[in-house]
Amino acid sequence: MKRTLRLILGDQLNHQHSWYSATNENVFYVIMEMRQETDYVNHHIQKIIAFFTAMRNFSAYLHTQGHQVIYLKLDDENNTQSLTKNLDKIIQELDIEAFEYQQPDEYRLSEMLKNYSPNNLQTSLYATEHFMISPAEFDDFFKGKKTFLMENFYRMMRKKYGILMEGTEPLTGQWNYDADNRKKLPNNHRPIEPMTFEKDVTEIYELLQNQEVKTIGTVNPKAFIWTTSREEALQLLEFFVENCLENFGNYEDAMHPSYWSIYHSRLSFAMNSKLLSPLEVVSRAVKFWEDNQGRISISQIEGFVRQIIGWREYMRGIYWNKMPDYETLNFFNHDRKLPNWFWTGETKMNCLKHSVGQSLDYAYAHHIQRLMVTGNFSLLAGIHPDQVDEWYLGIYIDAIQWAEITNTRGMSQYADGGIVGSKPYVSSANYIDKMSSYCGTCFYDKSKKVGHKACPFNSFYWDFYDRHADKLAKNPRIGMAYVTWNKMQPEQKTAILEQAEIYLNDIENL
């Protein structure tokens, strides 16, 4: 075999990849910490630490398996901080004859490597062997269809893998239990304490400080909580199925200022870095449900399965089908700047104070906090989707562009004009109060649309629909909102729009 260099990116930590089934003295693996990756967006410090720690653990694992690994730390004197320049140096120094890499999950890295020609070496591209459907299969499924309906995709995936199926039909005759999974945490209900991993990451923390890497958020380097190895990821999966799965579906949309994890799995970082595969996660959860059907209802397991084999795989398919144009879409032509308090959490709106504050503290918020609090506010206020993308991509530990941008620019901001979602996901204070315990102690009054301490969400909601009536009024899923708006007295509508304008003009002080 020719002397071969194989590149492993920071989100390609797949222990089960066929590359590692055998050792070869002519094969060298390279893993790199680079400013190219720490600096392309302002990342949460816990996100960078998690990736670097996981990369170092993966390198150590390969070493124990007998593989030859070149690991470039951020402060290595030979580190050019550029992916292609580092590759050039290693190829020359080791007299490499062939270069191999796995398909990157981010468009920018895919294009970079697609255009990389190291001295006309033989170059080979491999699959990551992680996802459950390829972009080509996704494109074929939706070929000729006018819309990319996720429910149809989800049902196809259930059939393809035989998950919760009886032949070609769903196990219980019902595909989707989403309507059952929208409960608020009951009063005095205390969710289980989340499993965390109290690790000392001082070395990497000090590395980032010494190298003056710009980050957001906070971290306790003596007690880092996130899973960064396959062993820990498997422990977290077991903790979830044994302790959280029976309540996951019921409370997957619930929000509470005292509980940052509730019954969520928090496996997204482990999956997005490929420490766990989606199929093994779903298979383990389904097996546990099968063994505990008297304890765990079908709605709990179905909600979890849908998030992974439905939503996660669907969003990846949309990403590769629509990039690079997708990252420029701005259906509403929104252009407002993201308020500075998105970086501090210092706002009087309780729902945003807690959701942003939690994100800064943990590099984590669950899907409803992202969609119906921070995302809802950004859309109603007319924030430029570029700014919203940048914030989401930087602040969350699981945010890799393929997963982030489709959820943010698509589902959350409707900047794609309806590719991902059939309507904008917006609400007044009513929904936030229905699904959370934020409103009761808020500075603002959830019941007021105008006047002193009126909740900004209420006037923003109607102002949004009024501003965009030309684009939304004929949407069949929104009709009732415009019926209600049009029935209001002219003076009431004027007062609401004036209230929204006052708040938007003073958005930094809300």
Q: What is the CATH number of the domain that holds 107?
A: 3.40.50.620
Q: Are residues 288 and 183 in the same domain?
A: yes
CB 455 within 8 A of CB 446: yes
In this prediction, the residues of the chain whose per-residue pLDDT falls under 50 are none
Q: Given this model, what pLDDT does residue 11 score?
A: 98
Separation CA 102–CA 354 (nearest Å): 39
- Region for 188 from its dihedrals, namely left if φ exceeds 0, alpha if ψ lies in -120 to 50, beta otherwise: left
Q: Is residue 331 in a domain?
A: no
Q: Given this model, what pLDDT does residue 180 score?
A: 73
Q: Is residue 215 in a domain?
A: no
Q: Given this model, what pLDDT does residue 220 score?
A: 97
Q: Is residue 453 in a domain?
A: yes
What digits encode the pLDDT tens for the residues 445-462?
A: 999 999 999 999 999 999
Q: Given this model, what pLDDT does residue 276 score?
A: 98
Q: Are residues 115 and 253 in the same domain?
A: no
Q: Is residue 251 in a domain?
A: yes
Q: Given this model, what pLDDT does residue 157 score?
A: 96
For β-strands 122-126 and 98-102, DSSP reports them as parallel
Does the CA dihedral 275-278-282-287 come out positive or negative? negative
Query: How far is C-alpha 156 from the geometric centre of its chain's CA atoms?
Result: 23
Our CA angle for 236, 185, 460, nearest 5°, is: 105
Q: Given this model, what pLDDT does residue 147 score?
A: 84
Q: Are residues 285 and 391 in the same domain?
A: no
For β-strands 68-72 and 122-126, DSSP reports them as unpaired
Separation CA 507–CA 403 (nearest Å): 29
Q: What is the CATH number of the domain that holds 292?
A: 1.25.40.80
Residue that terminates a domain, selected from 126, 161, 184: 126
Q: What is the CATH number of the domain that holds 346?
A: 1.10.579.10
CA-to-CA dists, residue 405 to 46, 307, 324, 329, 338, angstroms: 20, 16, 11, 11, 16
Return the DSSP state at 7. Answer: E
Give me 196's structure tokens.
């965390």
Q: Are residues 505 and 420 in the same domain?
A: yes
Separation CA 345–CA 498 (nearest Å): 26
Q: Are residues 366 and 477 in the same domain?
A: yes
* Stated length of the chain: 510
CB 66 within 8 A of CB 237: no
> Strands, DSSP E only, in 193-236?
none
Residues 6 or more apart in contact with residue 245 via CB below 8 angstroms: 263, 285, 288, 289, 296, 300, 301, 304
Q: Are residues 30 and 147 in the same domain?
A: no
Residue that terminates a domain, selected from 126, 159, 178: 126
Q: Is residue 207 in a domain?
A: no
Range of the domain at 300: 135-192+244-322
Separation CA 415–CA 450 (nearest Å): 28
The residue type of 258 is S
Cis peptide before 324 (omega within 30 of 0): yes
For β-strands 165-166 and 169-170, DSSP reports them as antiparallel
Residues 6 or more apart in contact with residue 450 via CB below 8 angstroms: 459, 495, 496, 498, 499
CB 201 within 8 A of CB 221: yes
Q: Are residues 503 and 459 in the same domain?
A: yes
The residue type of 342 is F
Q: Is residue 233 in a domain?
A: no
Separation CA 157–CA 302 (nearest Å): 13
Q: Is residue 43 in a domain?
A: yes
Q: Is residue 383 in a domain?
A: yes
Partner residues linked to 169 by β-bridges: 166
CB 24 within 8 A of CB 1: yes
Does the CA dihedral 37-40-43-45 come out positive or negative? positive
Q: How many domains, in total, are found in the chain?
A: 3
Q: Given this model, what pLDDT does residue 145 score?
A: 85
Separation CA 84–CA 91 (nearest Å): 10
Q: Are residues 165 and 248 in the same domain?
A: yes
What digits encode the pLDDT tens for the residues 99-156?
A: 999 999 999 999 999 999 888 788 999 999 999 999 999 999 999 888 888 999 999 9
Closest CA to 272 of 105, 112, 392: 105
Q: Given this model, what pLDDT does residue 431 score?
A: 93
Q: Are residues 144 and 116 in the same domain?
A: no
The residue type of 328 is T
Helix (H, G, I), strand (E, B) or coil at 39: coil
Q: In what order do the strands lie in the sheet with 122-126?
A: 68-72, 27-32, 4-7, 98-102, 122-126
Separation CA 417–CA 322 (nearest Å): 13
